Structure 1
Amino acid sequence: MEKNAENIKKIAAMIDHTNLNPCAKKADIEKLCTEAIKYGFASVCVNPFYVPLASQLLADSPVKVCTVVGFPLGAVSIDDKASQAGLLVDEGAREIDMVVNLGLVKDGAWEDVFEDIYAVRCAINDVYIPGEPKILLKVILETCYLTDEEIVKCCQAAEKAGADFVKTSTGFAILKDKDGKLLPNGATVHAVELMRKTVGDRLGVKASGGVHNWEEAWAMVKAGASRIGASAGVQIVS
């Protein structure tokens, strides 16, 4: 895709401008929100603590507040995920990115995987205010840990549970080869293509982790991504 003004605007509108750094300061979140408004990003994605601040800063803009639940491991109880999601929506989040329980996935406990996601969907619905735009739920699969079959089954569980998106990665996974060398842990074209093939046009697909520039972003969109999660949003569209 040619990097012209029209296409830059199109890609920018797909970006969740992200700062999930555990050391992020208030000034960093203020900068993130200012950039999101300036460049027309879809949302800012922040840690739960900063949801009230981001909601205040973006109150008069079309940029949504996105946050994370069960992040980055996904290994908390269903009740914890559900209660956190409900609280964060109450505080102003309009998009929730939850991490699936990978232990359940590896056990092949697909009904429990469904329940994990469905509980968050229900908690979001319980605090939804009628007449407002739908609160989006994105399910992070952490694809670097999964087989193709597990990716497909996770996507199916997410769709059954009422999720709006499936998402590749947290960007925080650690994957090593037999010699201890770090391996890629973020979005891949293969994973995005597989996820899109599985959910069709019924759900969105978010490519997140390791998307640093225009070429990488476009490769993900071409593979089927409808959202890009990136801390390099400004770099991508500049």
Structure 2
Amino acid sequence: MNLTLKELAGLFDHTNLRADATRGDFQKLCDEAREYGFASVAVNSYPVAMCREMLKGSGVLTGAAIGFPLGQTTVEAKVFEAQNAIDRGAQEFDYLLNVGKVKEHDYGYIEREMEALVGVARKGNIICKVIFETCYLTENEIIEAAKIAGLVKPDFVKTSTGFGIAGATPEHVTLMKKHAGREVQVKAAGGIRSYQDAKIMIEAGATRLGSSSGIKIIEEMRHILGE
């Protein structure tokens, strides 16, 4: 993995999606993201406006989680939440597709949902990431969802919320990248807690990482490099 510290930091979405997170927690999150040069902060939709203000002038994006963490809201509800997050200052959003519909193999529903959410992002000129929650899916279900992404073309497909029964695996990252195609990037999230975890995901094809352990990972790399 031939990345500098700055380049590695620039792949991270610095995350706080806890139910008990307070203004002080979000200030800390944003200050850390600014200091380390992370790609974004990932938060639920309520603190978006607050974080956008805290990050003013930093170059760090404010990202919102939509339909989180279960994905079992209607398409209309996800569209409303995404648009509301954009109106409050979100510069990207990650939405969880309806995992149950993938399990039913109702891929027409998944395509319509993806088209609706990607459409909101395109209208707002922001980044859209589609969360698969791969821990609940078979290999074939991951392939089929990735193929739909290859048609609809969100900016990213993402492995996990971090709230499921398991997180990202390099095998799932590789599978998603292969079947989503060249125009769709892959974000690995869930269980990325060490420099070695990050390295494995990047080598598998991930170009964005979601983690609440970004600082620990960067400091590990700093130690390895002797900086």
* TM-score (norm: length of structure 1): 0.89
Look up the match of 2:151.
160
Pick from 173, 177, 181: which aligns with 1:200?
Answer: 181
Paired with 1:31 and 1:85, the residues of 2 have a C-alpha distance of 25
1:59, CA displacement in angstroms?
A: 1.8
The answer as to 2:160 corresponding to 1:169 is yes
Gaps of 5+ in 2: 220-227
Cα-Cα RMSD: 1.2
The answer as to 2:56 corresponding to 1:59 is yes
1:117, CA displacement in angstroms?
A: 1.3
State the Cα deviation string for residues 190-216 of structure 1 (Å, max 9, x = none): 101111111232111000000001111
Pick from 140, 144, 148: which aligns with 2:131?
Answer: 140
Q: Percent identity?
A: 41
Q: After superposition, where does 1:51-90 map in structure 2 within 5 Å? A: 51-90=48-87
Paired with 1:227 and 1:118, the residues of 2 have a C-alpha distance of 22
Partner amino acid, structure 2, of 1:223: A
The answer as to 2:188 corresponding to 1:191 is no
Partner amino acid, structure 2, of 1:41: F
Partner amino acid, structure 2, of 1:49: Y
Partner amino acid, structure 1, of 2:148: A
Asked if structure 2 preserves the Cα contact closer than 8 Å seen for 1:81 and 1:120, the reply is yes
In structure 2, the residue corresponding to 1:186 is in which secondary structure?
Answer: coil
* TM-score (norm: length of structure 2): 0.93
Q: After superposition, where does 1:111-150 map in structure 2 within 5 Å? A: 111-126=108-123, 128=124, 134-150=125-141
State the Cα deviation string for residues 125-181 of structure 1 (Å, max 9, x = none): 34x2xxxxx41100000001001111111112223223110000001013xxxxxxx
Gaps of 5+ in 1: 129-133, 175-184
Paired with 1:228 and 1:35, the residues of 2 have a C-alpha distance of 16
Paired with 2:36 and 2:182, the residues of 1 have a C-alpha distance of 27
Paired with 2:27 and 2:182, the residues of 1 have a C-alpha distance of 34
Paired with 2:119 and 2:127, the residues of 1 have a C-alpha distance of 12
Paired with 1:190 and 1:123, the residues of 2 have a C-alpha distance of 30
Paired with 2:19 and 2:144, the residues of 1 have a C-alpha distance of 31
Matched residue count: 219
